[in-house]
A and B are shown apart, each in its own frame.
Chain A
Amino acid sequence: MTLPGGEISKRELHFIWIVDCSGSMRDDGKIQSLNYAIREAIPHMQREAESNFQANLLVSALKFSTGAHWIIPPTDVNSFKWIDVEAKGHTDLGQALVLLSEILHIPPMTNRGLPPVLVLLSDGQPTDNFEDGLNKLLQEPWGKKAIRISIAIGEDANMKVLQQFIGSDERSPLLARNPEALSNYIRWVSTVVQSASARPRSQQKNDELHDSNVEIPKPPEMISTATDVW
């Protein structure tokens, strides 16, 4: 006999990829590496979500180049399929953040959720009004509460912009100097960070418990034998 009741009540957790598809991402196979790394990370993300009883993980993706648009709507992580993106055009990050602010509005967002995870991947300089977009995003309660992570793909990325997106002094953008590092960081955000929002991990003694919105574990330490290719 099956026991009564149902699964424990879960909170919605939105995980959003914000992907730079500007022309420069074509250089040195960056866009191919990115497509490959996200595909690699998906099964790990699904496995992590399976043991996560507190969150209903919804994954979506937004790309920006000349303009910005959604490429994958919020999808249950178990049926999430990555669609390869191509690189062409400008770097309209501001527009991407405006689009993002629209989806983080209540509704369509639930009023009972976990802090969303926003992952920005970029290799360059915004070509539009980035700050306006960021302000719009931060005006939304869910935008402000979100765990915002940025990954710089190669040394040319504007670290100042990526830092502004994160908005926290304690954390810095992650700099992926080579495909191996990019793959590691993408896997880290799709597993460790998603669970930080939903299923809090063991706290370390020196963690600051009260000052931040969500406790984010340390990113993987990048010790690598590979040479920098970007």
Chain B
Amino acid sequence: MMTRKNTDKSYQYEYSVGESVHIKELNLICNIEAELGSGTQGKVYSLITPNNSSLALKWYFPSMATKEQYGILKSLIDIKSPSEKFLWPLALVENSEKDGFGYIMPLKDKRFKSFSLWLSRKIDPSFKVLLTACFEISQSFHLLHSKGFCYQDLSINNLYFDPHSGDIRIGDTDNIIINGSEKGNVIGTPKFMAPEIITGNQLPNTQTDLYSLAVLLFYILFLNHPLEGKAESSIKSLDIPSMTKLYGTNPVFIFDPDDSSNFPDPIYHKNALIYWNIYPEFFKKLFTKSFTKGIKDPQYGRVRETEWQIALLELRDSMYYCRKCGSENFLDPSFRETLGLSKSSTNLVNQDNLSSTILQNLNCFKNIDDVTTCWNPTCRNINHKIMYILIDERKMIVLNHDTRLFLHHVDFSLGYDFTRIVAQITKHPHNDNLWGLKNLSDTTWKVETGNSSPIEVLPNQSLLLTPDITINFGKTKGTIYY
């Protein structure tokens, strides 16, 4: 019995179902429930835990179980996760009967799906969900980068989202390193790697992460790669040499305003053409910057996460439902120029430095009838009646049947927080044709209407929505337009 271990029992690097796993750091003994997947670095298993917590184990292949990887994991575990959105390493696991080592991380809930299911159109999220997910991705990477980390391998394969809410989870966190430390085994995933990594001039860093982020957002919102246009469809065999050219040595944005050589092919890149026509100009500009200046100048040309966050939220707030077909459309502020309304007020003070195009000139933005056409090809409705609230003449939120105002909408000094709802659109209890704004905050609103004396809306009361009334939320004032 005593000698058995050394004689006929070979070392193993895999677990089988039911096998026990001792997690010393957490003082837990778990069992393998199932193998969830196998990647280039190792295998991932779900665990049965005595306290019913949802945990997963990643066990490295022997060649990947390097000293360096061990060190990275150890420091990640010490630092703790930046937010619950990261499936962050919780504890190291070693086993005298297995080769190498592994680590424990939270197991993602089943509601989280791979973005590739969206790209294959096997799930059917809304614009609102996609924009929420993109916002959360930008916010999470901002948080990670601001702590001095670099993700190194940002790609669509490592991210998951809830197709009903847009909530996200970020996997493969075991490649995260301190920016600039040049540690770790990976250099990225092709198609997501910044050109300067492909050409061998750089190792992954936060600037290359920003490039990968822009590719990822483009994929999610345009269902196409930003560099896959005519130059891609003319390639017969998409192999490494052709990919190096397309994504590395000669990258051209498909909507490059100065170079049409890689414009989308109407057969293979139809999605890019369709979605390019749906999003407002102010939003598309960020992608143009990312893949023109951002390619030429990795240090200063790239779009920062905070810029993405602001633009994504503005886009989300500018969304309205077509009255005829229910499709989600976006109110493009550039049509004001078409109406000749643009020049009167460009001197708005930008108090929180969150400058962006949609916020400018908004006080002229009052007659918005018949300026946009629904993108739905079977609808093409041009008759939109859109109600919106303009807060402190700067922040516009379209009021739809399901709109909610959050604390950051009415208090510009605060960061984004989707857990604190201050107002919500509601239906009148007795009259379906009347809509109100329910006060879900704990402060009383003072409301000025044009002709009568000011009224007060107490918490949990609703205010009938009529044009030209102004609500004083405390720190800001919002005026309703229709």
By a beta-carbon cutoff of 8 Å, the part of chain A in contact with chain B is 1-9, 11, 50-53, 106, 111-115, 141-142, 145, 191-192, 199-205, 207, 209-210, 212-215, 217-218, 220-221, 223-225
Contacts and interface: CB of A to CB of B under 8 A. Distances in A.
A202 B186 contact: yes
Contacts of A203: 186-190, 193
B323 to A, nearest CB: 13
Nearest to B130: A3
Contacts of A115: 237-239
A223 B11 contact: yes
B240 A1 contact: no
A217 B40 CA distance: 7
A149 B125 CA distance: 39
B63 interface: yes
Interface residues of B, number: 69
4 cross-chain pairs, A with B, having the tightest CB-CB distances, nearest first = A200-B190, A53-B119, A5-B271, A7-B121
Contacts of A220: 61
B244 interface: yes
Contacts of B274: 4-5
Contacts of B13: 221, 223
A210 B241 contact: yes
Contact of A141 (B41, B236, B275): B236
17 contacts: A1-B376, A11-B238, A51-B157, A112-B268, A113-B236, A145-B237, A202-B153, A204-B40, A212-B240, A213-B240, A214-B239, A215-B240, A221-B13, A223-B10, A223-B12, A223-B99, A225-B8
B340 interface: no
Interface stretch (B325-333, B433-441, B448-456): B325-333
Interface string B17-51: 00000000000000000000011110000000000
Contacts of A2: 124
B442 to A, nearest CB: 36
A159 B375 CA distance: 60
Given A9-B271, A202-B172, A225-B8, 16 more contacts: A1-B326, A3-B127, A4-B278, A7-B223, A111-B236, A112-B233, A112-B268, A114-B239, A145-B237, A192-B38, A202-B188, A203-B190, A212-B240, A214-B239, A221-B62, A223-B12
Interface of A is mostly: loop
A201 B158 CA distance: 11
B325 A1 contact: yes
Contacts of B120: 7-8, 50, 53
B223 A141 contact: no
Contacts of B126: 1, 3
B229 to A, nearest CB: 11
A207 B243 CA distance: 15
Interface in B401-455: none
Interface string B175-211: 1000000001111111101000010100100000000
Nearest to B124: A2
A203 B223 CA distance: 23
Nearest to B99: A223
Given A200-B189, A204-B186, A4 B325 contact: no
Contacts of A106: 236
